[in-house]
Amino acid sequence: MTASDAVPSVVRASHSVLLAVSNAGPVGANAPSICRETGLHKRSVYRHLKALQELGMIEASREDSRRYHLGAAAVGLAVQASDQRAFLRRARVYADELTEQTGEPVHVTVYEHGTSVTVASPSMESLSSVDAFPITLGSRRPAHASASGKLFLAFNAAALTAYLTRPLQAFTEYTISDPHVLRTELVRIRERGWASDTQENILGVSCVAVPVWGRLKRVVGSLAVTTGQPLMPAPQRQTLLEQLLPAATEFSKAIGGEPS
């Protein structure tokens, strides 16, 4: 059985209708043109159009209600996908350049399913002269117990609300496991524009992270430094922030981001 065989026919049909609307461009697509492109019966096309319209994936044209364009939900997904592609293209470059500049291993992370995920890390060449704490590509850290994860929660109210529906697991004695304490910490992060964690996920490890902004003033990632120190000295952290913050602003602008 192929991957397409595993997709329910109703989903494939809706997808084909959505593609037909997308392919029509600014002119928009009407039911007859969608029938021709998809091979679906007109009644079926109207049923899928109604469902897609209710989901916000398509909308009727203001000039001609019989024609359909992509809706706000579909456009929003396209914007996010565009942000992600632009973000990932540049992530490795910034990881390498900042590692060489700071003398510390700089990693790039995103937020996914309640965790901070490393999507770019320095190349071996960049790490050759750095005493690096090992952070592997694809590694995940719980959002409430990591600097980069707390950044995402601080600037995304919906993500925070969803995250707090579960208990805050303690990984070390320093993990924030009280929702009220976490909310207070997130307020501080929003005010100062960066986050840190001190042995909150792993004993003997500290981290500092700054946000990378996408379009619509959304935090789409972070630049983070993780060190094998129980406590990052304040002068070292300040020096890192003076290098990371301008780089994050540059990164944000490069992907069309709008810092808050």
Considering the domain architecture, whether residues 194 and 117 belong to the same structural domain is answered as: yes
Rounded CA separation 242/246 (Å) = 7
Mean pLDDT of 114-128: 77
Residue 90 covered by a domain: yes
pLDDT over threshold 60, residue 126: no
Mean pLDDT of 217-232: 90
Q: pLDDT tens digits for 69-78?
A: 888 777 767 7
Q: pLDDT confidence of 6, banded at 50, 70, 90?
A: low
Considering the domain architecture, whether residues 65 and 98 belong to the same structural domain is answered as: no
Residue 259 covered by a domain: no
Could you tell me where the DSSP H helices lie in 24-146? 31-38, 42-54, 72-102, 124-127
The CATH code of the domain that includes 235 is 3.30.450.40
Mean pLDDT of 208-235: 91
pTM of the complete model beyond 0.75? no
Considering the domain architecture, whether residues 61 and 122 belong to the same structural domain is answered as: no
Considering the domain architecture, whether residues 122 and 205 belong to the same structural domain is answered as: yes
Considering the domain architecture, whether residues 184 and 132 belong to the same structural domain is answered as: yes
For residues 193 and 211, the answer to whether their CB atoms sit within 8 Å is yes
Residue 75 covered by a domain: no
Token digits of residue 217? 């003033």
Residue 50's pLDDT is what?
92
Domain extent, residue 86, equals: 80-254
3-class secondary structure, 213: strand
Residue 211 covered by a domain: yes
Q: How far is CA 6 from CA 13, 17, 38, 48, 68, in A?
A: 14, 19, 19, 20, 29
Residue 260 covered by a domain: no
Residue 113's pLDDT is what?
84
Considering the domain architecture, whether residues 118 and 214 belong to the same structural domain is answered as: yes
Considering the domain architecture, whether residues 66 and 85 belong to the same structural domain is answered as: no
Considering the domain architecture, whether residues 141 and 166 belong to the same structural domain is answered as: yes
Rounded CA separation 198/175 (Å) = 9
Q: How far is CA 260 from the centre of its chain?
A: 16
Q: pLDDT confidence of 1, banded at 50, 70, 90?
A: very low
Residue 202 covered by a domain: yes
pLDDT over threshold 70, residue 202: yes
Q: pLDDT confidence of 234, banded at 50, 70, 90?
A: very high
Residue 151 covered by a domain: yes
pLDDT over threshold 70, residue 129: no
Considering the domain architecture, whether residues 95 and 151 belong to the same structural domain is answered as: yes
Mean pLDDT of all residues belonging to the chain: 87
Please identify, among 70, 91, 112, the residue that sits at the C-terminal boundary of a domain: 70
Considering the domain architecture, whether residues 124 and 187 belong to the same structural domain is answered as: yes
How many separate domains does the chain show? 2
Considering the domain architecture, whether residues 205 and 86 belong to the same structural domain is answered as: yes
Mean pLDDT of 218-228: 91
Residue 131's pLDDT is what?
57
pLDDT over threshold 50, residue 36: yes
pLDDT over threshold 90, residue 163: yes
Residue 85 covered by a domain: yes
The CATH code of the domain that includes 47 is 1.10.10.10
Residue 2's pLDDT is what?
47
Mean pLDDT of 123-151: 77
Q: pLDDT confidence of 103, banded at 50, 70, 90?
A: confident
Considering the domain architecture, whether residues 66 and 84 belong to the same structural domain is answered as: no
Please identify, among 48, 70, 92, the residue that sits at the C-terminal boundary of a domain: 70
Which carries the bigger pLDDT value, residue 54 or residue 27? 54
